[in-house]
Amino acid sequence: MKTFVISILTVGGFGALFGALLGYFAEKYKVEENPLAKAIYDVLPHGECGACGFPGCHPCAEAIAEGRAPVDACVVGGAATAAKVKKVIEEFKKEKVKS
């Protein structure tokens, strides 16, 4: 019984230590995301198909936000998604002008 309790305390202690370290380093080395790319990603269909020429929707959204891809880059979403992306970009520009 004593060995069982020691084992549980040891594993629990290591779990707490590694959890605390993981939380600390996650905050210390946090990568800030482009808010425009995030907003564009939210309106994409999330098909992750690669039909746009990018490996997924997130790289496509980043390319659109940086101007490396047109607003209608998402083939799967079609004209409806292109209109949503264009609207998001226009709203983002309006907000940027206000601030």
Tally of CB atoms within 10 A around 86: 16
Instruction: Write the Ramachandran bin of 79: left for phi over 0, alpha for psi from -120 to 50, otherwise beta.
Output: alpha
State what percent of residues in the chain have pLDDT above 90.
Answer: 78
Q: Which SS3 state, helix, strand or coil, does residue 76 take?
A: coil
Domains held by the chain: number: 2
For residues 13-19, average pLDDT = 97
- 51 and 21 in one domain? no
- 65 and 46 in one domain? yes
Are 66 and 81 contacting, i.e. CB atoms less than 8 angstroms apart? no
Q: What is the pTM of this model?
A: 0.69
User: CA–CA separation, 66 vs 54, rounded Å?
Assistant: 14
- 44 and 23 in one domain? no
Closest CA relative to residue 36, chosen from 97, 91, 98, 84? 91
- 86 and 56 in one domain? yes
Predicted confidence (pLDDT) per residue in 58-97, tens digit: 999 999 999 999 999 999 999 999 999 999 999 998 887 7
- Indicate which CATH number applies to the domain containing 57: 1.10.15.40
